Amino acid sequence: MGVKKSMKTLKRSFQQILRYPSAVAGLIVVFTLIAISIYAMIKIPYNEAIRMWRGGEAVWYQNPKWVPPAWTNLFTSKKLAESFALDAEDSNVTKVVEERGEGTTRINYTYDFDFNFDEFPQELILYFTSQYDTKEPFVSILMLTPDGRELRIGDFAVSNRQTYRFSQDSKLQRRLGGVTPEIGLFADPNFETPTPLKGSYQLLVNGVTFEEGSDINAEFVMHGQVFGLAGTDHQRRDLMLPLLWGTPVALAFGLLAALGTSVLTMIIAAVGTWYSGWVDSLIQRITEVNLVLPFLSILIMVGTFYDRSLWTILGVTILLSIFTGGIKSYRAIFMQVKESTYIEAAKAYGAKDSRIIFHYLIPRLIPLLLPGLVSAVPAFVFLEASLAVLGLGDPVLPTWGKIINDAQNNGALYKGLYYWIVEPAALLMFTGLGFAMLGFALDRVFNPRLRGL
Amino acid sequence: MTVTTDEVIPPSVESVKKSGTSTLSRVAKYTSVRLVTLFITVVIGVYLTIMIANMGGYVDQIMRGEIRERVTVQVVNNPDVRRLDPDARNQLVLEKIALEEKRLGLDQPLVIRSFRYLANALTLNLGRAQNMTSDSGSRQVRLIILERLPATLLLMGTSNLILFFGSIFLALSLSRIYGSFWDKFIIALSPTSAAPPWFYGIFFILIFAAVLHVLPFGGMVDAPPPDDPFLYFLSVLKHLTLPASALIISSLFLSIYNWRTFFLIYSSEDYVEMAKAKGLSSRDVERRYILRPTLPTIITNFALLLIGLWTGAIITETVFLWPGLGRTLFRAIGQYDTPVIVGSTIIYAYLLAITVFLLDFIYAIVDPRVKVGG
């Protein structure tokens, strides 16, 4: 009887909820977040996400450091250079191989690219890989500018694996008249102050190998001043990954903590009320002791001394949140329900205690559980972020809080890297507001005292 | 920190049955039982905190490892010791480790130590910190805490008092005009309280410090601090603005909403209708018929607010580099400094217990329906 009745109430309440605009907005937010989570988990599987988040320079070398997302160009008059990476497979790259006899082979790469930006790039890099037995191949690098100038960049032998950073070549800098290469190569010679010359550029890598079967491969990477949809952080990581993957993590933490806390609180309150006597007073005393315990300090202690994993923190959070004010308000309601006639009837036909608690008492309060549960989600989502901001975030998982923590530690606000903080903060606010709005509406629907107020 | 009507502890309303000679003995009995239960609660709570601060002995291992490493490095780097033969050197290292472990009390088992911590804490003998020092160089936990207390009281006091009285005042005004545009506006804004203070703090720093350059990023006073007391005051005020606003904004709207709903429930009582029907001015109705019965709740919340000041705001203080108790506590945890953690907890526990105890009597004073121990 109890279950059926509450199911009916739930259904009726759902129709009522749709009448509140804030609830509809909240529902849309929640469903959007779920959709993002599913997309993130399908598009980037867990192991791949962890590799991209913690992978190291090999994963991030194509990305510039500390740059805002590319779409910021839409709102500025001065267009910042976009990043790109060109390797031998790319259609803008041509590779010409020419046998010169006596084992000598010419391998020429031409990288075509357009530069139509108002600011200079951050860095230009060539990543060489080559195969040889004893004699290293030799390359000379040239750049052809749109106005027909030919700039000599450098000539050197390449080993198996070599990285050539234009900005660190002091000879090149001297040749360009003392300006750093990433400026000097793109500067229009007709201007006194460095101004980029727009148009199509060509980078030529002319290589010579001296052995049979020897080969050179070169990838040309330009680190611009903007990157991707979300920008990058201090380790060149694409922020899109933690933003996407932070969503399922935040949802999982928030929902599990809220669900665990409210369901356990309700069960314990029901058990206490039903058995009364010493069980009830024990629960009351535990609640009082829990009031004395410093909640956040204990979480920080667990994080610092023991384990920072999200699941440990989740468990401790639930454990500390069970015996709080909620247990008292549930108890008050259970006290009333306990006196109902249908409970009398159940007792009369000899139902077991557990049956009465789980089949008769608790189902009556499920409609009340929902608003509390939904309203509690933002607090837990922000709790995870708060711990991360204190440097106690999960060491493995990419989360929104960790982005803010990284940004704080690297002085993002002092350096003007606002995107770094605003993006995760916006998502946190979006999530918090969504659940809070839904929770408010649910509270008004299910809490008859508030109806009409 | 947020005030919700659900959390309000309802006064135990009891009808007046007996009076006269038994009153004194009843109050005395109730008082003693209440004091004993509260004391036991504090003892258990503090003991649990002590055990958690040691992670049941796990932290001892970390500390032992750290001591071993520190002492070994110290000895190895000492040129005088380098000349000694390896055996003598090892002997020296072991002696120094033993000495250091004795200083931190690690030579005794955790159980004994935990009870000593407990006894010291309960007698408010806060003792000496293990690793931390106050800015003036003292290791006394009492001095470490006292040094930071003014900063926390200033920040938390300013923001919470403004928040408390501001939201009650606004809530009363809203409950008079409920259903109006402003009422709906505040209801619509109340979900913004889902975000904690530090979150607003980051935005405030972004807008007012980073972009507009009108207020400082953090800290409590300019460096170097101004000599003139008035300029010093202005400088503190400037630094206080952002963290205090963050603390206020983050709970303001929900707080107003909760108080407003609370007042509305009370203003729909029959006796309020009756008073209105009698033709009393709305001012009188509000003061005598709405505010008066809600007084116990208001007092409870105010008392909890006052003791809440003590804990400080760990994260807000960290984000704003505010030199308060919250940050000290965070630092203490980072340095495994159990005495400081326990010291901070015991004072909070005592304050809470005393407040809960006194509230029973205050209810009896402000609400004639309530009787102590009735």
Instruction: Identify the bridge partners of residue A93 per DSSP, sorted by sequence position.
Output: A111
Residue contact A421–B349, C-beta within 8 A: no
Q: In what order do the strands lie in the sheet with A93-99?
A: A93-99, A105-115, A199-209, A138-144, A150-157
Question: DSSP string of B26-91?
Answer: HHHHHHHHHHHHHHHHHHHHHHHHHHHHHGGGHHHHHHHHHHHHHHHHHHHT-HHHHTS-HHHHHH
Contact A385 B45 (CB under 8 A): no
Helix then strand then coil, % of chain A, to nearest 5: 55, 15, 30
Cβ distance A382 to B178 less than 8 Å, yes or no, reads: no
Statement: residue A261 has pLDDT above 90: yes
Inter-chain contact B209–A413, Cβ cutoff 8 Å? yes
- Per residue in B189-236, pLDDT (tens digit) is 888 888 899 999 999 999 999 889 899 888 888 888 888 889 999 999
User: Is A294 part of the contact surface with chain B (CB cutoff 8 Å)?
Assistant: yes
Query: Tell me, what's the pLDDT at B17?
Result: 46
pLDDT for B72 beyond 50: yes
A285 close to B (CB below 8 A): yes
Task: Check A292 against B345: CB less than 8 A apart.
Answer: yes
Residues 6+ apart with CB under 8 A from B165: none
Q: Is B199's CB within 8 Å of A421's CB?
A: no
Whether B26 and B373 have beta carbons less than 8 Å apart is answered as yes
Q: What is the pLDDT of residue A27?
A: 92
Q: Across the interface, do B191 and A433 touch by the CB < 8 Å criterion? A: yes
Q: How far apart are the first and last CA of chain A?
A: 31
Chain B interface mutation, best of A281, A288, A302, highest count of B Cβ atoms under 10 Å? A288
Distance in Å, alpha carbon of B22 to nearest chain A alpha carbon: 27
Residue A325 has its nearest CB partner, among B7, B199, B206, at: B7
What distance in Å separates residue A45's CA from the closest CA in chain B? 30
Q: Is B348 close to A285, i.e. CB distance below 8 A?
A: no
- Kindly list the distances between the CA atom of residue B35 and the CA atoms of A290, A294, B87, in Å, as whole numbers in the listed order: 18, 21, 59
Q: Which two tokens stand for residue A220?
A: 């040309």
**How confident is the model at residue B3, as a pLDDT?**
35
3-state secondary structure B277-319: HHCCCHHHHHHHHHHHHHHHHHHHHHHHHHHHHHHCCHHHHHH
pLDDT score of B20: 53
Q: What is the predicted ipTM?
A: 0.83
Give residue B249's pLDDT: 93
Which pLDDT does position A38 carry in this prediction?
94
Q: Indicate yes or no: CB of A432 within 8 angstroms of CB of B41.
A: no
Between chains, do B59 and A305 touch, taking CB under 8 Å as contact? yes
Check pLDDT > 80 for residue B287: yes
pLDDT at B5 over 70: no
Angstrom CA distances, A362 to A365, A378, A427, B308, stand at 5, 25, 35, 34
pLDDT in tens, A45-92: 888 888 888 877 778 788 888 888 888 888 888 888 888 888 888 888
pLDDT at position B9: 44
Distance from CA of A263 to the nearest CA of B (A): 18
Q: CB under 8 Å to B127, separation ≥6 — which residues?
A: B120, B140, B141, B339, B343
Question: Searching chain A, which residue's CA lies closest to the CA of residue B201?
Answer: A425
Segment among A274-278, A402-406, B309-313, B362-366 with least mean pLDDT:
B309-313
pTM, to two decimals: 0.86
Of the candidate ranges A175-189, A295-309, B72-86, B194-208, the one whose mean pLDDT is the lowest: B72-86
Q: Could you give the percent of chain B with pLDDT greater than 70?
A: 93
Question: Among A75-84, B54-63, B331-340, which stretch is predicted with the lowest mean pLDDT?
Answer: B54-63
Q: Which residues on chain A are in Cβ contact (under 8 Å) with B196?
A: 382, 386
pLDDT tier, A151 (very low <50, low <70, confident <90, very high otherwise): confident
- The pLDDT tens digits for B7-41 are 444 444 444 444 555 778 888 888 888 889 889 98
Chain A residues whose beta carbon lies within 8 Å of the beta carbon of residue B58: 305-306
Mean of the per-residue pLDDT values of chain B: 83
CA A81 from chain centre, in angstroms, equals: 24
CA distance A266 to chain B (A): 15
A residues 76..115 contacting B (CB < 8 A): none
Exposure b/e, A393-408, CB count within 10 A at least 16 = b = bbeebbbbbbbbbbbb
d(CA B210, CA A422): 13
pLDDT at A1: 47
Nearest CA in chain A to B321: A408
| Partner residue opposite B199 with nearest CB, options A290, A418, A428 | A428
- Could you tell me if B172 and B286 are in contact, meaning their C-beta atoms sit under 8 angstroms apart? yes
Q: Are A359 and A427 in contact (CB under 8 A)?
A: no
Q: Do A302 and B52 touch (CB under 8 A)?
A: yes
Q: Using one digit for the tens of pLDDT, what is the confidence trace for A6-31?
A: 677 667 777 777 888 888 999 999 99
**CA A253 to chain CA centroid, nearest Å:** 14
A297 interface with B at CB cutoff 8 Å:
yes
Select from B4, B5, B41, B257 the residue whose CB has the most chain A CBs within 10 Å, as the one to mutate to test that interface: B41
